[in-house]
Amino acid sequence: MAKNEFLPFGTAANANVIPNADYQALPARTAGFSGGVAKSEQLNTVWRQGSTMAAVLGQFIADKSGRDVLDDGDLATLQANLQEALMNIMPVGIPQPWPTAIPPTGWLICNGSAFDKVKYPRLALAYPAGLLPDLRGEFIRGWDAGRGVDVGRGVLTSQESTQIYDKAGWTNSPAGGYITVEMTNPDGVGTVNGSFSTQRKNDATSDSGSTRFPVRPRNVSFCYIVRAA
C-alpha cells in the first residue's frame, strides 16, 4: 500500500485550538500574525487547517495513484502523481463521448480495432479479446441484466435496428367488405403487432402495398473514445 507522508496536526478531540467561529473572526487570518507573541491555540488552528487538507489530498493521491506521497520537496513528482490520481477516478475501459476526431492522450477511438494487450494491460481486463468496441455510428443501450425488456443479450453484443412496416390492402371484397391495415414489428421483442379494419362501400379488386418506416431519434454526433491507460 502506498504511503502518505503529509500528516495532519492537532486533530485530537482535546486539541488546543480555537473554535471555528473564533478563527473566522480572527484579524490575523487575513492580515497575518504581526511581530510579537502569538497565542498557541491560534497557531495550532492555522497549522491544523492547512495540514488537514494536505493530509487528505496526499492520501487521495496515494490511494488513487498507488504511489508513495513523500514530503521531500519534489513538486514535479507530486504534481504528476496528482494528475495520475485524478485520471484514475475514471476507470480504464469506460467509453466516453468526445467532441473532436482526435482523442486526448491515453485514450483510443472506439472503432473495433485490435490493441496491444501488453502495452495496455488494464484495458485488456475490460476487453480480454484485445478488441475495442466499435461504437462508430452506434447508440449505446443499457444491458437488460434480467429485467426482461431486452432479453437474450449479453454485454457488448450488437443488435440490428427495428423496422416498422405499414401494410395495407384488400382482396376482392364485395360491397360491405373490409380493408385491413396491419402494423408489424419484425423485431418481435417488447412489441405488439396490430391491425384494424374499416368497411368498404363499393366492390373492389385485390390490391396491397407496404411501406417501411425506419425509427431513429434526433441525435448529435460525438466521437466515442475509451480510456486505455
pLDDT (mean) for 120-136: 96
Residue 24 has pLDDT above 50, yes or no: yes
Average pLDDT for 29-58? 94
Look at residue 190 in the predicted model and tell me its pLDDT.
44
pLDDT of 1 above 50? yes
Question: 40-65 and 75-87 helices cross at what angle (nearest 10)?
Answer: 60
Q: What is the mean pLDDT of residues 41-63?
A: 97
pTM summary value: 0.61
Is residue 229 over pLDDT 70? Answer: yes
Determine the straight-line distance between the first and last CA of the chain, rounded to whole angstroms. 21
- Residue with the three cell numbers 487575513: 30
Length reported for the chain: 229
Span 1-13, average pLDDT: 96
Give the separation between CA 86 and CA 65, rounded to whole angstroms: 8
Parse the chain into domains and list their residue ranges: 20-87, 163-214
pLDDT at residue 179, as a whole number? 52
Question: Is pLDDT at 64 greater than 60 in this prediction?
Answer: yes
The 10s digit of each residue's pLDDT in 65-110 is: 999 999 999 999 999 999 999 988 988 999 999 999 999 999 999 9
How much is the pLDDT for 216? Answer: 76
Residue 202 banded pLDDT, cuts 50, 70, 90: low
Q: Is the distance from CB of 201 to CB of 156 less than 8 angstroms?
A: no
